Amino acid sequence: MDGKAIVQSVIKEIVEPGIQRLMESRYFSELREGKLSIRRLQGWAIQHYLHNKAILKSFALGMVKNAHDQDMFNYYTYQFNEEQTHPDLAKKFGLALGLKEEDFADATQIFECQIHSARTIYNTLIGGGPLSRASALTSESMVCRYSEEFNTYLRKNYGLNDDALTFFTVHMVADKEHTAQSAERIALAVKTPRDERVVRESAQFMVRIKLGKFEGIYQAYI
């Protein structure tokens, strides 16, 4: 099977339309218009902080469980190191919007964000195969694109500075590299028709989860 062709097909048929749907959602439409409430921006900061904390713990668990396997241990160590600063970057954004430390300490995940974290942790703990990498490819592609949107319109419409927006400037760059790595892993890993089906389903599921996450934040934070 031509793994590279399958990856390009998934990107064109699933990932890119998913990104377009996210950009057309009311969350990002209102962000571009400067009409998105501060509370909904704070909601993203809180929920993404909790999500990043959860996946760091899953990477740490993956390191422990795979200490006997150097390749997999290295995989989880790399992922942990890449993500280690991200909870604090999400928190920094929230603090710039007027949140306090206790807002993060007292927060719990809304339903849609629980689904996002649960799926991400599941994919993390099953390793670096087609299922987990297809989800990562989709998720990181969407994060990269929405980080560009946040970075542009939070400056333009909300007057936030470089320091407050560090999360987004980091992800605009880092997730391009992560996406390329995921694409390469998928292309090498897809060997059977079942592998291809798993990749396509995983990408479709992650699109739905990401769209649901932002709609959930929009509804929960008025």
State the pLDDT at residue 152: 98
What letter would DSSP give residue 160? -
- What is the pTM for the complete model shown? 0.92
User: Mean pLDDT over residues 102-115, rounded?
Assistant: 98
Q: What's the domain count of the chain?
A: 1
Q: Indicate the pLDDT class of residue 76, thresholds 50, 70 and 90.
A: confident
Quote the crossing angle between the two packed helices 130-158 and 166-189, to the nearest 10°: 160
User: Mean pLDDT over residues 19-43, rounded?
Assistant: 98
Query: DSSP states of 85-135 as a string?
Result: THHHHHHHHHHHTT--HHHHHH----HHHHHHHHHHHHHHHT-SSHHHHHH
What CATH code is carried by the domain that includes residue 11?
1.20.910.10
Residue 27 above 70 pLDDT? yes
State the pLDDT at residue 132: 75
Give the residue numbers spanning the domain of 105: 3-220
